[in-house]
């Protein structure tokens, strides 16, 4: 831990940056999770009209979007634990601007990465679940008419489209995980002020 003699490096507003980092982590991550959940839920409900049997199978993107909010919560709790209160006897600030900027960067990193991830998951899930549902409905209608898809087992292509949509959502979800890893690294920055040596 590096110590610095009290001066402008540990001003009274230094903790503001840390608290903004905590707020950014939680708020932006939950915005991403909410958007991803809402948009993928919209696609799932639309798909459920034509193919209700696939409803639970396509619930994966809702879970993936919900995890994004947890990323922000984890970083927010870690950053809150690293906040230091002013000294009780004289009110001197020991929380440095360096530490505050690092915590702000950590919060923005996980928050904005999770927001981008939630947007990507939502859009991919909306399109993917509708496509899986449409393909299933089309396959069922072909089956009722007596047609077979190129001599293959009926419904064999449905799984390949489903797997493709899940893979797209997994890679979209990784964006939030990358932000979480970077935020955890940034949260380890230490540079405290002391009253003297």
Q: What is the mean pLDDT of the chain?
A: 83
Total domain count, the chain: 1
What are 193's strand-pairing partners?
Answer: 4
Give yes or no for a contact between 118 and 176, defined as CB atoms under 8 angstroms apart.
Answer: yes
pTM metric for this prediction? 0.82
What per-residue confidence (pLDDT) applies to 157? 54
Q: Among positive and negative, which fits the CA dihedral 119, 37, 30, 64?
A: negative
Q: Could you tell me the residue range of the domain that residue 164 belongs to?
A: 3-194
Q: Is the pLDDT of residue 193 over 70?
A: yes
What per-residue confidence (pLDDT) applies to 182? 96
Give yes or no for a contact between 6 and 87, defined as CB atoms under 8 angstroms apart.
Answer: no
Q: 28 exposed, middle or buried (CB, 10 Å; 0-12, 13-18, 19+)?
A: buried
Instruction: Taking residues 100-121, report their average pLDDT.
Output: 95
Q: What is the pLDDT of residues 139-190, one digit of tens each?
A: 666 666 766 655 455 445 557 778 888 899 999 999 999 999 999 999 998 8
Q: What is the CA radius of gyration of the chain?
A: 24
For residue 149, give the CATH number of its domain.
Answer: 1.20.120.610
Q: What is the pLDDT of residues 77-110, one digit of tens each?
A: 999 999 888 776 776 778 888 899 999 999 999 9
What per-residue confidence (pLDDT) applies to 155? 47
């Amino acid at each position: 831990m590096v110590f610095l003699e009290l001066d402008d490096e540990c001003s009274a507003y230094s903790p503001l940056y840390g608290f903004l980092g905590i707020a950014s982590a939680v708020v932006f991550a939950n915005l991403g999770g909410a958007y991803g959940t809402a948009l993928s839920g919209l696609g799932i409900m639309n798909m459920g009209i034509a193919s209700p049997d696939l409803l639970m199978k396509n619930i994966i993107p809702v879970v993936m979007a919900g995890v994004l909010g947890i990323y922000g919560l984890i970083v927010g709790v870690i950053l809150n634990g690293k906040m230091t209160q002013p000294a009780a006897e004289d009110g001197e600030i020991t929380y440095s601007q360096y530490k505050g900027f690092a915590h702000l960067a950590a919060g923005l990193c996980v928050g904005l990465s999770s927001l981008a991830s939630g947007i990507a998951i939502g859009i991919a899930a909306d399109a993917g679940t509708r496509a899986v549902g449409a393909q299933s409905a089309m396959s069922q209608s072909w089956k009722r008419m007596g047609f077979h898809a190129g001599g293959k087992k009926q419904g064999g292509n449905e799984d390949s489209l489903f797997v493709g949509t899940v893979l797209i959502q997994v890679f979209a979800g990784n964006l939030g995980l990358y932000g979480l890893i970077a935020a955890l690294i940034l949260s380890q920055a230490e540079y405290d002020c002391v009253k003297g040596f």
